[in-house]
Amino acid sequence: MTITAKDVTLRPYESSDIAAMTVLLNMPAVVEGTLQLPLRSLAERERKRQGFEPIVDLVAVVDGLVVGHGALQLAEQHRRRHTGTVMLVVRDDFHRQGIGERLLRALLEQADDWLGLRRVELLVHASNTGAIALYEKLGFTREGVLRDYVLTRGHYRDALIMARLNR
């Protein structure tokens, strides 16, 4: 299915999206690219969602189906309140159709124009070349390597910290 920008709607995440998010977060490429464990239940997702309160919390919807999620979480420490952390996932069957970029642009617009954040940062698996290409396209740069950061199918993998400054 080829979709165009006008087929995709961004709206706030609602609690009724939890079942669709459970499906999305259990998808193989999403598990691979994040810190999610595979095959997690709806009940577990509901528990984890409690207390997760990002300042921006958006889903991308195509034909009524939640196909992506983007969140921006503010740093808790007072002296780091100028910093947000990005989380971004798109359903495996909707990759490379501009949805991740659309979500990330929306997060960055809020960071820059509504929240006045100076720094937006994220962690990405060093092998996740697609995500890294997206982040670099939107102005993130690589700041460092976190060695053996994540266990993936029995192997320890490095992660990168990337950030984009607005100054």
Ligand X SMILES: CC(C)(COP(=O)(O)OP(=O)(O)OC[C@H]1O[C@@H](n2cnc3c(N)ncnc32)[C@H](O)[C@@H]1OP(=O)(O)O)[C@@H](O)C(=O)NCCC(=O)NCCS
CB 19, min distance to ligand X, A: 19
Which CB atom, from 75 or from 138, has the smaller least distance to ligand X?
A: 138
Query: Which residues are at the interface with ligand X (CB under 6 A)?
Result: 29-30, 33-34, 88-90, 95-101, 122, 124, 128-131, 133-134, 137
DSSP one-letter string for 98-162: SHHHHHHHHHHHHHHHTS--SEEEEEEETT-HHHHHHHHHTT-EEEEEEEEEEEETTEEEEEEEE
Which CB atom, from 29 or from 62, has the smaller least distance to ligand X?
A: 29
Which CB atom, from 78 or from 133, has the smaller least distance to ligand X?
A: 133
Please state, in angstroms and rounded to a whole number, the distance separating the CA atoms of residues 56 and 108. 10
Strands 83-90 and 119-125: parallel
